[in-house]
Amino acid sequence: MTKGFEIIDLIVDVKHCLQAFVGVAQDLNAIVIAFRGTQERSIQNWIEDLFWKQLDLKYPGTPDAMVHHGFYSAYHNTTIRPGVLHAVKRAKNFFGDLDIMVTGHSMGGAMASFCALDLVVNYGTHNVQVMTFGQPRTGNAAFVSYFKKHVPNTIRVTHGHDIVPHLPPYYSYFPQKTYQHFPREVWLYNIGWGSLVYTVEKVCDGSGEDPTCSRSVSGNSITDHLEYFGIELQAETWDSCRIVLDHDMSSYSTTDLSGNIVLSRTPIASVLELNTQKRKGGISVL
């Protein structure tokens, strides 16, 4: 967690097993939007399903851009989108026009990309940055071009032999018809032997499908998918999407008929003492 971070809203879509939160980070001087990764009864079944996802939905406003409806709907057609947009509006009203950092792991990375594009295209937000971890491909080449144009400050972090960034499959002999990643990838991989092993962070080319980065190895590891920068990202249990609230938290939450929950709090400006002057530049890879 970043220094001086204060959460504003936690949005839980119980029906679709989705979670996101919006907060403000002092050290980033930014609003942070984070989407939880895949929360399935069997992550292996979810990964196997990625092999067969088809480009079956035209992205609105672009004639040739295609995405998968499941990726698109997880953000656009659930309680996640209105909850996130409302929280961002509250944060901006309170703290000013801060940068926005959108992040997510796995399926949450795909949702983060749709959220960032939504903020830029539909709400005129120009200071949006994206950093995802182990996300799957989300659309075709036309969608990638559209995304690069509107959200250029984007980093996709991949790890070792993580299987998910290899899915849905990319077919180099059908580059315009197949799923494709947007740039820029940063590939984490280990070199060395025995006790002398350390991690390299390779900044890849601007194609999104650099053959010398994660595509240079087989994507066959769920273990690599569930750990980034030494942090385990898997849930303790895959059995439930419910959230249990303390009785004292009820005054901070709203619940709809489907059991979806939004937890909100009023941010305290004196705690953060943010400098709301906009910073120049995009994401830096250290």
Per residue in 194-243, pLDDT (tens digit) is 888 889 999 999 999 999 999 999 999 999 999 999 988 876 555 556 55
Task: Say what percent of the chain tops pLDDT 70.
Answer: 79
Q: So what's the pLDDT on residue 239?
A: 52
175: nearest Cα among 144, 154, 133, 198? 144
CA distance 253 to 121: 30
Confidence at 266, pLDDT banded by 50, 70, 90: low
pLDDT of residue 51: 76
H/E segment holding residue 177: none
How much is the pLDDT for 4? 74
Please report the domains of the chain, with CATH numbers, ordered by start residue.
6-272 (3.40.50.1820)
Report the pLDDT averaged over residues 83-96.
92
Q: Which range among 36-40, 45-49, 154-158, 276-280 shows the weakest confidence by mean pLDDT?
A: 276-280
Q: What are the respective helix, strand and coil percentages of the chain, to the nearest 5?
A: 30, 25, 45
Nearest C-alpha neighbor of 180 from the set 117, 137, 135, 136: 137
Say if residue 270's pLDDT is above 80. no
Q: Report pLDDT digits (tens) over 114-142.
A: 999 999 999 999 899 999 999 999 999 99
DSSP state string for 3-34? TT-EEEEEEEETTTTEEEEEEEETTTTEEEEE
Q: How far apart are CA 88 and CA 185, in angstroms?
A: 27
The rounded distance, in Å, linking the Cα atoms of 111 and 105 is: 9
The token pair at 264 is 């909100």
Q: What is the pTM of this model?
A: 0.85
Amino acid of residue 11:
I
Mean pLDDT along residues 239-253: 53
